[in-house]
Structure formats: C-alpha cells, structure tokens
Chain A
Amino acid sequence: MKKKIRILIAKPGLDGHDKGAKIVSLALRDAGMEVIYSGLHQSLEQVIQTAIQETVDVIGLSIMSGAHLPISEKLIGMMKEHGLDDVKLTVGGVIPHRDIPKLKEMGVAEVFPGGTSFEDIINGINKLFK
C-alpha cells in the first residue's frame, strides 16, 4: 500500500484567521492524508521543529495577513539550514495572483490562493509525490 502523505498545516506569525487552515485540514484528512495542525501564532522555528518531529512530507502554510512573501522566503531558508530538502512547501490564504510566480521562484512547490477548490488542493499535493 502506498504510504500516506503526512502534512503539517501551519499558521505562522500573528494572524489568527484560522477557518481556512482548519477546513483545509479536514478536507485533506478526509482525502486520506495524515494531517497535523499546528495551532495559532507559531514562530517559524516552531514550524520547523514540528515538521522535524512529525517527519512530515509537506508543510502547508496558511497566511491571511498579506505577509506571505517575507514569511515564505524566511521559512525556505530555514528548511535548507535544517536539511529538510525533501519536504515540500505549499502556501495558501489571501494570496494575490501576481505573487504566485514570486513564491514559486523562491521554491514554494504549490500555491493555493483563497477560492481554490478542495479538489485542486488535494490533487496539487498528491501530484508533488508522483
């Protein structure tokens, strides 16, 4: 049997709007993934530590405050430092379309702006492991 994808849904930083992170967690769980939800107000150090401890395949950041560019850039640097080279990073939330190429260029594997269907999120993540 194929190994289940383990994903950490993380809410980095100070923003507390967690409806999106929570419902996506539920959708991914129902799609057969093992989902760890970080809870709110996580520092990037905490996100990295949880990703290591839980040996996840994917970190899915949920960012609604508009700070997705600086946060993603910093996390990618930290993932490299910690040798998390095989872990994929996805970003969801309030993301203007014009920022998607910038995020991908940084090394974000997939971007799921608000309005992305559950199906597209699930397929987008599955595709990373094919």
Chain B
Amino acid sequence: MGVAKYIKDERGAIKEVTYQSGIKVKPVYGPQDLEKAGFEYDKDLGNPGEYPFTRSLHPQSYRSRAWTTRQYTGFGTPEETNERFKLMIANGQNGLNVAFDLPTQMGYDSDHPLAEGEVGRVGMAIDSLKDFETAFAGIPLDRIGSGLTINAVATIMMAMYQAVAEKFGYSREQISTTPQNDILKEMIGRGAWIFPVEHGVRLVGDSIEYAVKELPRSNPVSICGYHIRESGATPAQEIAYAFEIAKAYIDNVVQRGIKPEEFVGRFSFNFNVYGNLWEQIAKFRAARKLWAKMLKNEYGVTEKKKLFLRGLFGGGGSGLTKEQPENNIMRGAYYALGAALSGAQTIALCSFDEAYTIPTPRSALLSLRTLEILMDEVGLRDTVDPLAGSYFIETITLEMENKILEEMKEVEALGGMVKCISTGLIQRKISSQAYEYEKGLQSGEYKKVGITPGKTDKESGTTDVELHEYNEEWAEKSRANLKELRRTRNQQDVNQSLKALEKASMTNENVMPYLVKCCHAYATVGEMAGVFRQTFGEWNEPEFY
C-alpha cells in the first residue's frame, strides 16, 4: 500500500510497516517511545520560532500569515506567459514561479538547430532582455517575488532579472528573485546541466557572492531535494543529499573569504511532498531542525534568522498517475495537507494533468483553490504545529533525523557530494532504487489507486483530459523576434560586453556584473552561454551502469 512496505497476515491485517527511509512503524505509540528515543522538548522541539525550529520558523506561523502560493507557470512566448502571470496574480497568487523552455534552460537561442520543436514547449522561451521586458510588463517587481526555475544558466537569468527591473525603474535593492540555481541536483536528477562540475559550482558561487554584495532581497540558490527524490531517492536521502549539496556551495563561497553567517540566510530549499503522509511530516520537521543544528555547530552561524530552513515544499509529480488522472486532484490535496501540517512557508502543487503535459489554466486554478481550501476553509491556520507532542510523530521525527544523518555520513565518507556526483555513484544508487520501486509498483508490492499490478492501462485519460496545446507559431514568433533583435541592437556594445564576459570567465573574477552588462546590451542567452561553453567546456556524464 502506498509508497511504504506493508506486510500483512492471511486475513489482511497489517503486520509490518516500513517507510522508504527505513523507519519501522509500530501499531501504537505511547510515552515510553518518546522516553526511549531520549525526547526532550527544549532540545528536540523548542517553542515555535525558537531553535532548533522543529515546530516552526515563526512563533505564530500561519496565524500571522498563510503560506505563499507559487504555482509553476510559463509557456510559449513571453506574451502568453505574461498573461498567465497576471491571471494567477489576479486570482490571489502572491509570488511567481517561472518556467523556462528547454532551449533557454540549456543556453540555446530559439534559432539554434537543437532548439527545434522545443521553443516555448515546457516553459517560456527567453532569448534576450527584450523577452523579459514583455514577460514582466505590468508586474510589480518590488512586491511580487519571482522564482526562476533555471540552473545551468541561472547566473544569466539572475542578471537579466536585475536588468529588466532596472529598465522598469526599480533598483536592484528592491527586487526579490530566487533562481533555482542548483546545478549539482541537475547532475543527479533533472538533467539540465551544461558545464563540468567544478565550473558549474563556480557559477553558483559567483551568484551567491554577487547576491550578498548587490541584491539584498534576493535568494541566489534554491537547493532541490525535490528532483533527487523524483529520481528515486528516499525522503531521508532527499534531505541528506540536499544538505550535502548545500555544503559544497558553502565551501565554495567560504573560499572567497566570505563567512557563512553572511550568506547562508539566503539559501532556500525545494522539497517534495509526495509519499507517505507521516513520513513527509517527519521529514520536514527533522529537516528544519537538522539544518539549524548544522549551521550552528559546523559553520558557527549565530544569528537566529540565518538558521532558518526556508523553502518551497510542494510539487509531488512522481506521486501522480497517468491512469485515472482525476484521482490526482485528491492526491494533490493530501500532499498539500502534509505540507500544511509541517508548516510549509511556500507551496506549489502539481496539477492533475501534469502526468501528461503542463497544466491548463483550469487545472492550475484547481491547484490554487486546493491550497486555499486548506488555509481558508478547513482550519490549517488555526494553530501552530498541530501535531507536536504526538507520540508517533515525535518518535518518527527523531528517527528520521538519524536516518538523514546516516545518509549524510555515507556521502561524506565517500569524499563529499562533488566527488559522488563526478563519479556517478549517487546517480547509480538512485537509479537502481527507482528501478526497484517501479518493480514493486508493478508487482503490487506498493499500491497506487487506479493502477492494476502488471497491467498497462490503455484506456483511462485518453480522451477526457483537456490538454495544454503546443503552438508551432511560438517558435516562429521567437525566431522572428530574435532576427529583428540582431538587426536592431548595437552590435558593438554586444561584442564588447561579451568580450569582457569572456575575460572574466577565464579568471576568478565574478561573472555577474559582466552578465548584467551583456543583458543591457541585448546579448542573447545563447551568446552568453556560448562564452561559458567556450571557456568551461561541457560535462561528460559518468556511465550509469
């Protein structure tokens, strides 16, 4: 049943439950369990808003403010995306979560041969600052923060966001952007990497350093256990690997002579919500606590706010099924409930049709409404950390903490995350876990409602899901705009700014100020990424078996 392992007796009664992270669940919990685990209120929980923040980052949590909803949005041309942004904001969404198409994510312009068939497909197509001017027209950039889901070329998009804000008359101190910018997880999971590991990490370091100095309200990196989990990691590994990735970035920035205290407060995280409800809740609570403890004990961070594990808990794509897609509406609601019971600060929920394609306006709004029902209707804002003190939840939260620590120790014993990714060790481990899990699903060992073990469902969802349509004209329009841009921009400015970028990329100089200049000169994403491709080369993925 579900993603946990269940052993039943001949009458169907449950005999054993083991969560994916390895936690064994007993039929009944009582005070003796907390005693056995050495549970102490002050040490393990603390009041909400107090170290180690297991209960909540803020004393009043949702009482003072509901979560921020940030549905993942973007497709087609910047015009289309701008319309959808405005629709979501008009319907109460208070932050943007921008999706880019694959050519943009991979640093290619819309007219590059490899971009064929992909322009505007899974996100919006961005070639230059001109496109950002269109996409963000009329959006109050001093009030609405933007998550930019981009990694390999996150530095470029961050620079472009600053450039567009400046163009609209905002100062760089006013704007708030959170580029995803987690290249190491791309190498484990999502696959949108370009440059070799060490150069990828250097670019992340450049953006953190720049944000510390120049963009006071922006959060330069959002570390994603999310995609690692989607790729086959257990919930404990999701947190452990994300923290080990964070350590790799911290080390890079510390080498630049910046103290952790000055920048770790800008890190945010993106974690997954699908799976066993209780295991998710234990995961989020344990993660908040461990992050604070790690920063305090290992990195000497003292200021309270800088110990916060801030982040977006959401998504849940791997939990959705293509079979009986409407079931995903209910699944999403339960995933969101888990996030709410864990005190998620920011949430984005996968929409029910995402097992097929990117959401239609109708399904995106359904997700938004699901989140509103939790906050405004059924009472998730009533009190802070409602599950605190539960014998069960507190026991498994402590067990989860230990499981996460075990996974972290394993990575560290193998030389740290950069090494584990370079050798492909982590990727191989996760792939084989994903394979085992899939076999379990197909054999019926794990149960998903709507899936019959060993049978391919050839019927459901074939006709009754309205699909977001791809429009070939988007590519033509993007290419035409690009052609016009190349004709009308000041080519000398472009050449000079790219030349300066190239020089900086070959030394240890921070590339960010040079990228901002390139963006203002209307250099294209492909041209800027092309400079990096030239200087850094491209990554050779290690064999996976």
Interchain CB contact under 8 A, A115 and B323: yes
A94 contacts partner chain B, Cβ-Cβ < 8 Å: yes
Q: How far is the CB of A21 from chain B (nearest CB, A)?
A: 10
Which chain A residues lie closer than 8 Å to B434 at the CB level?
19, 22-23
Option from B122, B439, B467 in Cβ contact (under 8 Å) with A118: B439
A71 at the interface (CB under 8 A from B): yes
Is B545's CB under 8 angstroms from A26's CB? yes
Q: Which of B514-540 contact A (CB under 8 A)?
A: none
* A residues near B231, Cβ cutoff 8 Å: 19
- Asked if A70 and B117 sit within 8 Å, CB to CB, the answer is yes
Q: How far is the CA of A22 from the CA of B231 in the complex (A)?
A: 10
- Name the distance in Å between A123's Cβ and chain B's nearest Cβ: 10
CB distance from A61 to the nearest CB of B (A): 13
Nearest-CB distance from B471 to chain A (Å)?
Answer: 12
Residues of B within 8 A of A32 (CB): none
Question: Given that A26-B545, A65-B102 are known contacts, is A115 also in contact with B457, CB under 8 Å in the complex?
Answer: yes
Majority secondary structure of chain B interface residues (helix, strand, loop or mixed): loop
Q: Is A96 an interface residue (CB 8 A)?
A: yes
Cα A40 to Cα B427 with chains together (Å) = 13
Q: Tell me which residues across on chain B come within 8 A of A97, comparing CB atoms.
A: 458, 461-463
Q: Is A43 an interface residue (CB 8 A)?
A: yes
> A7-31: which residues lie under 8 A (CB-CB) from chain B?
11, 13-19, 22-23, 25-27, 29
Contact with A along B179-190 (1 / 0, CB 8 A): 000000010011
Is B438 at the interface (CB under 8 A from chain A)?
yes
- Bound Cα distance from A113 to B460, whole angstroms: 12
- Cβ of A77 < 8 Å from any Cβ of B? no
Of residues 73 through 130 on chain A, the ones whose CB sits less than 8 Å from some CB of chain B are 94, 96-98, 113-120
Residue among B442, B451, B457, B461 making CB contact with A119, cutoff 8 Å:
B442
Cα-based distance from A7 to B218 in the complex (angstroms): 47
CA distance A22 to B436 in the complex (A): 12
Please state if B442 and A16 are interface contacts (CB–CB under 8 Å): no
| Interface range for A | 35 or more
B456 interface neighbour in A15, A22, A120, Cβ under 8 Å: A120
Q: Name the distance in Å between B55's Cβ and chain A's nearest Cβ.
A: 34
Q: Write out the residue numbers on chain B whose beta carbons fall within 8 Å of the beta carbon of A26.
A: 431-432, 435, 545
Min CB distance B91 to A, Å, is 25
Asked if A13 and B544 make an inter-chain contact with CB atoms under 8 angstroms apart, the answer reads no
Residues of A within 8 A of B421 (CB): none
> CB within 8 Å of B: which of A41-58?
41, 43
Interface string of B103-128 (1 = CB under 8 A from A): 10110100000111110011000000
Do residues A113 and B114 form an inter-chain contact, with CB atoms below 8 A? no
Q: What residues on B are CB-neighbors of A37 within 8 Å?
A: 544-545
**Complex: how many Å from CA A70 to CA B472?**
11
A118 near B545 (CB under 8 angstroms)?
A: no
A119 to B322, CA, bound (A): 18
CB distance B103 to A115 under 8 Å? no
Q: Of B103, B232, B442, which is within 8 A of A117 by CB?
A: B442
- Say how far B488's CB is from chain A's closest CB, in angstroms: 28
CB-CB < 8 A to A98: which residues of B?
Answer: 462-463
Total number of residue pairs linking A and B with CB closer than 8 Å: 104
Nearest B-chain residue to A71, judged by Cβ: B117
Determine which of B103, B106, B193, B438 lies in contact with A23 in the assembled complex, contact meaning CB atoms within 8 Å: B438
Which chain A residue lies CB-closest to B540?
Answer: A39
Whether a CB of chain A sits under 8 angstroms from the CB of B206 is: no
Q: What is the minimal beta-carbon distance from B226 to any residue of chain A, in angstroms?
A: 13
Q: Which residues 219-245 in B have Cβ within 8 Å of A in the complex?
A: 230-232
- Number of chain B residues close to chain A: CB under 8 A: 48
Contacts of A17 in B (CB 8 A): 190-191
Contact B541 A39 (CB under 8 A): yes
Q: Check A94–B541 contact: CB distance below 8 A.
A: no
Instruction: From known contacts A15-B191, A70-B116, A96-B357, infer whether A27 and B106 are also in contact, taking CB-CB under 8 Å.
Output: no
Contacts of B456 in A (CB 8 A): 115-117, 120
Of listed A19, A26, A65, residue having the most chain B CB within 10 A: A19
Task: Give complex CA distance A28, B193 in Å.
Answer: 27
Contacts of A43 in B (CB 8 A): 114
| CB <8 Å contact, B118 and A14 | yes
Contacts A25-B545, A116-B456 given: A13-B102 contact, CB under 8 Å?
yes
Measured CB to CB, the nearest residue on chain A to B468 is A66
Closest chain-B Cβ to A20's Cβ sits at a distance in Å of 9
Residue among A18, A43, A119 having the largest count of chain B Cβ atoms under 10 Å: A18
Q: Are A16 and B193 in contact (CB under 8 A)?
A: yes
Cβ of B355 under 8 Å from chain A: yes
Which residue of the partner chain, among B122, B431, B545, contacts A19 with CB atoms under 8 Å? B431
Tell me, yes or no, whether B454 is within 8 Å of chain A by CB: yes
B322 x A15 contact (CB < 8 A) = no
In angstroms, Cα B192 to Cα A123, docked, is 32
Contact assessment for B454 and A117 in the assembled complex, using a CB-CB cutoff below 8 Å: yes
- Contact at A18–B191, with CB atoms within 8 Å? yes
Distance to closest chain A CB from B237 (angstroms): 14
| Given A16-B186, A97-B462, A117-B455: A66 in contact with B122 (beta carbons within 8 A) | yes
Residues in A with CB closer than 8 Å to B470 are 66
Q: How long is the Cα–Cα vector from A15 to B117 in the complex, in angstroms?
A: 12
CB distance from A58 to the nearest CB of B (A): 18
Q: Which residues of A contact B177 (CB under 8 A)?
A: none
Cα distance, A16 to B442, chains bound together (Å): 24
23 contacts between A and B (CB under 8 A): A13-B102, A13-B114, A13-B117, A14-B102, A14-B114, A16-B186, A19-B230, A22-B434, A25-B544, A27-B435, A37-B544, A39-B541, A40-B541, A41-B191, A66-B122, A67-B121, A96-B356, A96-B467, A98-B463, A113-B322, A115-B323, A118-B439, A119-B442
B interface residues, Cβ below 8 angstroms from A: 102-103, 105-106, 108, 114-118, 121-122, 186, 189-193, 230-232, 321-323, 355-357, 431-432, 434-435, 438-439, 442, 451, 454-458, 461-463, 467, 470, 541, 544-545
| Apart from the given pairs A16-B190, A19-B230, A96-B357, 4 other A-B contacts in the complex at a CB distance below 8 Å | A13-B118, A14-B192, A23-B435, A119-B454
The 9 closest A-B pairs by CB, nearest first: A16-B191, A97-B462, A70-B117, A14-B102, A67-B117, A23-B435, A115-B322, A22-B431, A26-B435
